Amino acid sequence: MTGNFFYFLTFLTLFAAIGVVVSKNPVYSVLFMILTFFALTGHYILLNAQFLAAVNFIVYMGAIMVLFLFVIMFLNMREDTEQHKPVLSKIAAAIAGGILFVVMIAALKDVNTQMMQPAVFDSQIGMVENLGKVLFRDYLLPFELASVLFLAAMAGAVMLGKREPGEQNRF
């Protein structure tokens, strides 16, 4: 049952990811992206990482994707606005990506990942309580630095978005 769910979510994720790449309309790309993130949230729940599932759901699907959708609708993009690359370079790009995939699979094929120890296994590590303890005990400094990063990003976004005096005002 859970195995079937894993395969279903995997195929849904890959299908939606391919949809992001091949969609002509940017709005459809964003909607496929939201579907990808939804399936990844399901993966996190399957892996018993509840905190990350919630964060992925709220931050990625809620905030980041709405920001993307907002910008795309704000810029009024449609299918005819994007010029496409020549077919030859698309084929070359697909071959390059596919070869990277083959090389990675070949390199990872024989890797030994049997390192789970049932005796010391703790299924509760992905819960909010456990992760919160680790976050505020071992990773307090990076957590505080992340807030500084957010402040800098916010100031930078506001500054970049502001209209300069000498700028063309056609928009």
- Residue 91 CB, nearest approach to another protein (Å): 9
Residues in binding contact with another protein, number by CB under 8 A: 92
> Which structure tokens are listed for 104?
């990675």
25-84 positions binding another protein, by CB under 8 A: 26, 29-30, 33, 36-37, 40, 43-44, 46-49, 51-52, 55-56, 59-60, 63-64, 67-68, 71-72, 74-75, 77, 81-84
Please pick, from the candidates 8, 125, 140, 144, the single residue that binds another protein as defined by CB under 8 A. 125
Distance CA 171, CA 164 (A): 13
Question: How big is the chain, counted in residues?
Answer: 171
Q: Is 20 in the site for another protein (CB under 8 A)?
A: yes
End-to-end CA distance of the chain: 54
Q: How far is the CB of 165 from another protein (least distance, A)?
A: 14
The distance of closest approach from Cβ of residue 145 to another protein in the complex, given in angstroms and rounded to an integer, is 9
- Residue 160 or 165 with smaller CB distance to another protein: 160
Q: Alpha carbon of 52 to those of 59, 65, 106, 127: distances in Å?
A: 10, 17, 30, 9
What tokens were used for 36? 């990808």
Query: Minimum distance between the CB of residue 75 and another protein, rounded to whole angstroms?
Result: 5
> What's the min distance (Å) between Cβ of 69 and another protein?
10
CB-based contacts of 128, cutoff 8 Å, min separation 6: 50, 51, 54
Verify binding: residue 140, another protein, rule CB under 8 A. no
Residue 24: how many CA atoms within 13 Å on its side-chain side? Answer: 6
Binding residues for another protein restricted to 85-104, rule: CB under 8 A: 85, 89-90, 93-94, 96-98, 100-101, 104
Query: Pick from 63, 60, 20, 69: which is nearest to 41 by CA?
Result: 60
Q: Which two tokens stand for residue 121?
A: 């296994």
Q: Is 8 in the site for another protein (CB under 8 A)?
A: no
